[in-house]
């Protein structure tokens, strides 16, 4: 079944639509669910993968700044953004990876520059290792594809009843992130906050936020520990490909230790660290990031 070019999507509030002025597309997946994605511009493709608890709205500045020369393909993971939000789907990282691989092959994306943030990192690198002939360059924002200690406060989301109540009932994970995971509050205007909150307006629509939290390998026996160990062992296969790493240093989850981890595993990477940015670095320093990406992409053509 070919991609569905229909532009029907939930009507965004006017102030959010002004920030996100893109045509919506949908890919009917083999699972039977529809993945929403943006496909803006022409040229070599930039595949941008978001994390939790965001959606393709996170990359709006990059799409606007780069679509004049590149094809910007930006999906919403199933359960996120404007994609379907099934209540009984897997929501495992491997399943999200399957969806990304299906998107890449169905759109026949080649010479891809992978752009990742948060959970987009493991999902994207797993896809790149599965389809290495299609991926050429990598742009990395505050994420990890290897294991390091994480803040213990995340374990609170594992408490039965409490975790679902906070994450799905109160939307606490997203609302807290909009205040505690940023270093530049002035950029998060009411319209920007409304944009992030829009797709996650009910218990049912917040299913993926909770499942992504549950996918964090905090416990020693968590199955994703093996997945990330296996992923790390294969990273050397991508070491020779150009990497641009941009980091918000005030991130309390993906702390400076993770940045050092990227430097060790990809010693040839171009690295930029921003003292005045935190986890949502793309929203905090978009102009600087667009300029850095333009230079990196031109230099590695």
Domain regions of the chain by residue span: 14-299
The mean pLDDT value for 16-37 works out to 96
CA distance 14 to 26: 22
pLDDT(1) > 60: no
| Per-residue model confidence (pLDDT) at position 6 | 46
Output the pTM of the full model. 0.96
Which of the four pLDDT bands, split at 50, 70 and 90, describes residue 7?
Answer: very low
pLDDT(4) > 70: no
For residue 57 the two structure tokens come to 């709205």
pLDDT above 70 covers what percent of the chain? 97
CA distance 57 to 195: 7
Edge to edge, the sheet with strand 270-274 lists 25-28, 34-40, 71-75, 45-49, 112-117, 135-141, 243-248, 270-274
**pLDDT tens, position by position, 241-283:** 999 999 999 999 999 999 999 999 999 999 999 999 999 999 9
Q: What is the DSSP string of 241-278?
A: S-EEEEEETT-SSS-HHHHHHHHHH-TT-EEEEETT--
Does the bond joining 171 to the residue before it have cis omega, within 30 degrees of 0?
no
Indicate the average pLDDT of the chain.
Answer: 95
Which of the four pLDDT bands, split at 50, 70 and 90, describes residue 11?
Answer: confident
CATH number, span 14-299: 3.40.50.1820
The radius of gyration of the chain from alpha carbons, rounded to an integer in Å, stands at 18
Closest CA to 208 of 53, 103, 19: 53
Q: Do residues 124 and 57 lie in contact, with contact meaning Cβ atoms separated by under 8 Å?
A: no
**pLDDT tens, position by position, 115-159:** 999 999 999 999 999 999 999 999 999 999 999 988 878 888 888
């Amino acid at each position: 079944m070919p991609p569905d070019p229909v532009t029907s999507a939930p009507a965004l509030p006017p102030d959010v639509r002004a920030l996100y002025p893109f045509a919506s597309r949908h890919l009917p997946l083999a699972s039977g669910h529809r993945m929403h994605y943006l496909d803006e511009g022409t040229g070599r493709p930039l595949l941008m993968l978001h994390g939790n608890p965001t959606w393709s709205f996170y990359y709006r500045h990059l799409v606007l700044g780069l679509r004049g020369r590149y094809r910007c393909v930006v999906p919403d993971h199933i359960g996120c953004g404007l994609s379907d939000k099934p209540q009984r789907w897997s929501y495992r990282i491997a399943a999200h990876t399957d969806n990304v691989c299906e998107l890449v092959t169905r759109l026949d994306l080649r010479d891809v520059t992978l752009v990742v943030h948060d959970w987009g990192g493991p999902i994207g690198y797993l896809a790149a290792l599965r389809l290495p002939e299609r991926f050429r360059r990598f742009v990395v924002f505050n994420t990890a594809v290897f294991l390091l200690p994480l803040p213990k406060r995340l374990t609170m989301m594992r408490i039965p009843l409490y975790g679902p109540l906070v994450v799905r009932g109160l939307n606490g994970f997203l609302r807290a992130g909009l205040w505690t995971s940023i270093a530049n509050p002035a950029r998060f205007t009411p319209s920007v906050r409304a944009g992030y909150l829009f797709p996650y307006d009910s218990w049912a629509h917040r299913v993926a936020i909770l499942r992504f939290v549950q996918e964090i390998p905090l416990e020693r026996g968590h199955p994703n520990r093996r997945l990330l160990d296996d992923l790390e062992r294969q990273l050397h296969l991508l070491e020779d490909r150009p990497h641009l790493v941009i980091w918000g240093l005030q991130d309390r989850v993906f702390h400076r230790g993770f940045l050092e981890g990227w430097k060790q595993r990809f010693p040839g990477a171009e690295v930029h660290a921003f003292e005045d940015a935190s986890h949502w670095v793309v929203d905090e320093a978009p102009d600087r990031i667009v300029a850095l990406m333009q230079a990196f992409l031109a230099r590695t053509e």
